[in-house]
């Protein structure tokens, strides 16, 4: 009861001090009960404290499930033959210079993954699950794939082509697979984002482009353009002025 | 009609069981690829370097020390209650002899025969054939006097009631070793650390090594040019008024 009254009463904190209460009945030296430090002592300790810049920590934008694995990148590695074997496979995969796409993988059932795999196989593509983000992040720096690092963060899946098939048909295929979301990739020696891939898929074939260029070149040799160019100077000038007006109107 | 309805019910029940699922899955084509891989097995630690001594268990400590002066009466002599035996860091017995695990004191204090006997009985009951334990403190030698109840102050120094061992901060009290890991030792020694009258912790050789490396790293990478030792000795901010001579000696740590 007395202890309760003491604590509740005002000014308790001023008198709850070992220096006030425990001046007597100390048989052995006061090395066990630590004395309250004065403000001057506390200021002095803070001023003489060691200032050290801590070593770098892994970035926080990585998802919490993979934080532990990513933090191991900043520690010394113990040689593990299984990891070295997988590292070797990853390096060979990157050195092959094959085109591949990176897709984000939402939660999927195994039966759905099997169906998607069969559909892709029919079109000549291959799903790859073994190349994890930690492996790729370690082997990418210093290579041309360095810009793909922001895509290697969450649960991912790689799509490669087994027969050298065309990647322009993939965006249409991936619309039937709602759990796989396209992020980007490396196609025909170019690093492409999602928007660039969609544009790339809309480009025409090489054969159609060749036929178009051949038609344009043939027009120059004979046809309307040659008759316009070789006409009288006055008619040429009038035609060019009209053409200039047309272009301005289109740009406006 | 009854037989038909029964058979349909049985058929429907069978269709929803696990057996039906197994049969359905067998009809679907599976794609299994045989591959060889390296199994991630945890390697057992190597205990070939460890030498287990003959006497594995903790020995019994005497309550009363043998007399120092061999006189005719063999009377024990009282001593002063001096704080110098508990003040400051331990300079000698702060490392592990066997290089495995132990209990380290973080503050100074006195240990009595009660503490030692309780630890001895508990640890000897937990030791196995491939483990050993050893004391790193002396048996009680310092006499402590006590006046009887109701006695007034004065009339000389009273008689000895019991004996204690003084311990400084950083001293190792016990060592445990053998074919054992840190987790097992921690379960055993946490009771010892909790029963100490001062703060104590359970250490291993790795912990001590890491702390030393960290200390050296901090000492080399310290950016603050004002160290406690230099500023205290040169009376920065007039601080010598508020410091004790032990702070000048041990840089305010003890």
- Contact call for B242 and A41, based on CB within 8 A: yes
Report CA torsion sign: B84, B85, B89, B90.
positive
E strand spans, chain B:
101-105, 109-112, 131-135, 142-145, 160-167, 172-178, 200-204
- Contact call for B83 and A82, based on CB within 8 A: no
- Contact call for B242 and A38, based on CB within 8 A: yes
- Contact call for B228 and A41, based on CB within 8 A: no
* Higher per-residue confidence, A250 vs B28: A250
Q: Is A72 on the interface with B (CB under 8 A)?
A: no
Q: Is B121 on the interface with A (CB under 8 A)?
A: no
Q: What is the mean pLDDT of chain B?
A: 86
Give start-end residues of each CATH 3.90.1170.10 domain in chain B. Answer: 83-148+156-222
Output Rg (C-alpha) for chain A, integer angstroms: 36
List Cβ neighbours of A201 (8 Å cut-off, separation of 6 or more). A167, A168, A169, A170, A171, A172
CA-to-CA distance for A165 and A15, rounded, in angstroms?
A: 85
Task: Name A103's bridge partners.
Answer: A157, A182
Q: Is A48 on the interface with B (CB under 8 A)?
A: yes
Phi, psi of A231 (to 5 degrees): -80, 180
Collapsing DSSP to helix, strand or coil, B153 comes out as coil
Which chain A residue shows the shortest CA-CA distance from B107? A32
**Cβ atoms of residues A199 and A171 within 8 Å:** no
**Cβ atoms of residues B111 and B197 within 8 Å:** yes
ipTM for the complex shown: 0.71
- Contact call for A32 and B243, based on CB within 8 A: no
* Higher per-residue confidence, B10 vs A150: A150
**Cβ atoms of residues B201 and B104 within 8 Å:** yes
Report CA torsion sign: B196, B197, B202, B203.
negative
With bands split at pLDDT 50, 70 and 90, how would you rate the model's confidence at B28? Answer: low
Q: How do strand B101-105 and strand A156-161 relate by DSSP bridges?
A: unpaired
Angle at A58 between CA A52 and CA A61, to 5 degrees: 130
Q: Is B86 on the interface with A (CB under 8 A)?
A: yes
Q: Is A235 on the interface with B (CB under 8 A)?
A: no
Which chain B residue shows the shortest CA-CA distance from A117? B31
Which of B100, B163, B156 is closest to B137 using CA atoms?
B163
CA-to-CA distance for A133 and B80, rounded, in angstroms?
A: 69
Task: Name B202's bridge partners.
Answer: B103
B237 pLDDT more than 80: yes
Structure tokens at B248: 């000048």
Note the pLDDT of residue A19.
47
Q: How confident is the model over B160-215, as pLDDT tens digits?
A: 899 999 999 999 999 999 999 999 999 999 999 999 999 999 999 999 999 999 99
* Mutation choice for B interface testing from A44, A49, A56, A76 by most B CBs within 10 A: A44
- Contact call for A31 and B86, based on CB within 8 A: yes
* Mutation choice for A interface testing from B24, B213, B224 by most A CBs within 10 A: B224
Note the pLDDT of residue B75.
66
B77: alpha, beta or left, given left = phi > 0 and alpha = psi -120 to 50? Answer: beta
Q: If you search the block for the tokens 């047309």, which residue do you land on?
A: A246
Q: What fold characterizes domain B83-148+156-222?
A: Aldehyde Oxidoreductase; domain 3 (3.90.1170)
Q: Is B158 on the interface with A (CB under 8 A)?
A: no
Helix (H) or strand (E) run with residue A127 in it:
strand A125-128
What is the least distance, in Å, from the CA of A41 to any CA of chain B? Answer: 7
How far, CA to CA in Å, does B83 sit from each of A119, B158, B246? 83, 19, 12
From first to last of the 252 residues of chain A, give the pLDDT tens digit. 555 545 555 554 554 444 444 555 555 555 556 678 899 999 999 999 999 988 766 666 555 566 666 666 666 667 788 888 999 999 999 998 889 999 999 999 999 999 999 999 999 999 988 888 988 998 998 899 999 999 998 899 999 987 777 888 898 899 999 999 999 999 988 999 999 999 988 888 888 888 888 888 777 666 666 677 777 888 888 888 888 888 888 887
CA-to-CA distance for A232 and A90, rounded, in angstroms?
A: 68
Mean pLDDT confidence for B11-24:
60
With bands split at pLDDT 50, 70 and 90, how would you rate the model's confidence at B7? Answer: very low
Note the pLDDT of residue A228.
74
- Contact call for B107 and A40, based on CB within 8 A: no
**Cβ atoms of residues A138 and A87 within 8 Å:** yes
Q: How far is CA B197 from the centre of its chain?
A: 14
**Cβ atoms of residues A197 and A184 within 8 Å:** yes
Report the residue from A48, A50, A52 with minimal CB separation from B231: A48
CA-to-CA distance for B79 and B144, rounded, in angstroms?
A: 8
**Cβ atoms of residues B90 and B171 within 8 Å:** yes
Q: Note which residues in 36-55 of chain B have CB less than 8 A from chain A.
A: 37-40
């Amino acid at each position: 009861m007395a202890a309760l009254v003491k604590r509740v009463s005002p000014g308790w904190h001023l008198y709850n001090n070992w220096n006030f209460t425990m001046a007597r009945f100390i048989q052995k030296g006061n090395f066990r009960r630590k004395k309250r430090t004065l403000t001057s002592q506390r200021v002095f300790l803070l001023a003489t404290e060691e200032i050290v810049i801590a070593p770098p920590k892994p970035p926080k934008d990585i998802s919490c499930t993979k934080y532990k694995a990513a933090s191991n990148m900043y520690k010394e590695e113990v040689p593990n033959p299984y990891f070295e074997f997988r590292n070797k496979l990853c390096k060979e995969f990157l050195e092959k210079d094959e085109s591949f796409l990176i897709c984000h993988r939402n939660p999927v059932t195994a039966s759905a993954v099997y169906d998607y795999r069969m559909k892709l196989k029919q079109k000549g593509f291959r799903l790859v699950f073994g190349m994890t983000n930690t492996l790729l992040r370690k082997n990418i720096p210093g290579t041309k794939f360095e810009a793909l690092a922001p895509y290697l963060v969450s649960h991912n899946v790689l799509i490669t082509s087994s027969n050298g098939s065309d990647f322009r048909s993939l965006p249409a295929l991936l619309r039937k697979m709602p759990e796989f979301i396209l992020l980007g990739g490396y196609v025909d020696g170019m690093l492409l984002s999602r928007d660039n891939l969609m544009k790339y898929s809309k480009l025409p074939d090489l054969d159609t482009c060749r036929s178009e260029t051949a038609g344009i070149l043939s027009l120059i040799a004979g046809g309307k353009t040659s008759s316009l160019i070789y006409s009288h100077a006055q008619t040429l000038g009038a035609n060019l002025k009209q053409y200039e007006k047309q272009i301005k109107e289109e740009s406006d | 009609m009854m037989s038909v309805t029964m058979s349909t019910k049985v058929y429907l029940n069978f269709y929803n069981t696990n057996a039906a699922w197994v049969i359905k899955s067998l009809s679907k084509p599976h794609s299994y690829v045989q591959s060889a891989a390296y199994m991630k097995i945890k390697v057992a630690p190597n205990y070939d370097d460890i030498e287990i001594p003959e006497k594995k268990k903790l020995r019994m400590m005497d309550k009363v020390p043998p007399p120092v002066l061999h006189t005719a009466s063999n009377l024990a002599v009282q001593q002063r209650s001096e704080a110098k035996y508990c003040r400051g860091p331990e300079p000698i017995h702060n490392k592990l002899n066997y290089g495995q695990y132990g209990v380290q004191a973080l503050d100074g204090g006195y240990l009595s025969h009660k503490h030692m006997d309780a630890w001895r009985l508990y640890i000897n009951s937990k030791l196995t054939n491939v483990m050993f334990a050893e004391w790193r403190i002396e048996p009680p030698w310092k006499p402590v006097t006590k006046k009887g109840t109701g006695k007034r102050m004065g009339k000389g120094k009273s008689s000895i009631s019991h004996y204690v061992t003084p311990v400084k901060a950083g001293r190792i009290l016990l060592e445990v070793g053998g074919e054992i890991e840190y987790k097992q030792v921690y379960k055993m020694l946490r009771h010892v650390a909790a029963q100490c009258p001062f703060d104590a912790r359970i250490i291993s050789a790795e912990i001590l090594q890491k702390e030393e490396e960290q200390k050296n790293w901090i000492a080399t990478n310290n950016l603050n040019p004002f160290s406690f030792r230099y500023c205290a000795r040169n009376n920065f901010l007039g601080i010598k008024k508020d410091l004790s001579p032990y702070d000048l000696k041990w840089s305010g740590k003890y």
